[in-house]
């Protein structure tokens, strides 16, 4: 147990699917996992462990932002001995080549945040696990699901609340989408010698101000969930 996770060590699987929203974790567990049981309820971050096909998988929410992702992924990697985490979430698109509900896969992940400085580092660029990405690409191909590899910006701010185009002009990286957790996950994986990547579904576009509803964000992301679970089941 930790101050944030009440599960016993054996109740957390070696492979973790990590949405941001606890409600999304609940929906995934109910619709995709067999024999799922609740393994954490502290702070409302309800997590589930069950079987997808024959693979034991934990679905554990991260909450919003790098600080929350950093806490949960650190404890899962270092205390619960998790080997692989795939973040699944939503993102905003900066690219005219991406449309609502497109599924993107992290290649390079950037941030202008100083998240790593308290750990004695000064990283602003990390790469997703190629091993896990290869499994994701194979799963997508086997299920006729289109994935778009992208460079991701992990931001400390929610783009629709700011002048995102002006913000992007200050970012010294070639990025196609923005979200708020992936960089922290990849950094914790790097520090622990573990594997991590991120899948995200486009739910906002800054070019035409399109978006989808909160309910659709919670439940209409089946392609992303299916690909991630299939990759973890390999």
Annotated catalytic residues are 204
Q: H-helix or E-strand containing 228? A: helix 222-232
> 170: exposed, middle or buried (C-beta count within 10 Å: 0-12, 13-18, 19+)?
exposed
Most distant CA atoms of the chain, gap in Å: 48
- What b/e string do you get for 128-160 counting C-beta neighbours within 10 Å, with b at 16 or more? bbeebbebbeebbeeeebebbebbbbbbeeebe
């Amino acid at each position: 147990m930790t101050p944030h996770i009440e599960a016993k060590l054996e109740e957390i699987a070696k492979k973790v699917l990590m949405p941001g929203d606890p409600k999304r974790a609940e929906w995934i567990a109910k619709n995709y996992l067999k024999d799922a049981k609740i393994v954490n309820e502290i702070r409302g971050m309800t997590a589930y462990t069950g079987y997808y096909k024959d693979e034991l998988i934990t679905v554990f929410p991260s909450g919003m932002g790098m600080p929350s992702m950093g806490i949960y992924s650190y404890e899962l990697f270092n205390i619960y001995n998790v080997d692989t985490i795939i973040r699944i979430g939503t993102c905003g698109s900066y690219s005219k080549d991406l449309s609502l509900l497109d599924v993107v896969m992290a290649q390079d992940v950037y941030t202008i945040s100083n998240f790593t400085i308290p750990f004695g580092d000064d990283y602003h660029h990390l790469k997703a696990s190629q091993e896990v990405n290869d499994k994701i690409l194979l799963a997508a191909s086997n299920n006729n699901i289109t994935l778009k590899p992208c460079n991701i910006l992990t931001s400390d701010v929610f783009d629709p609340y700011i002048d995102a185009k002006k913000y992007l002009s200050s970012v010294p990286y070639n990025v196609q989408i923005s979200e708020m957790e992936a960089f922290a996950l990849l950094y914790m994986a790097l520090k622990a010698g573990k594997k991590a990547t991120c899948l995200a579904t486009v739910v906002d576009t800054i070019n035409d101000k399109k978006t989808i509803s909160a309910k659709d964000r919670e439940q209409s992301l089946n392609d992303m969930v299916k690909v991630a679970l299939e990759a973890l089941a390999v």
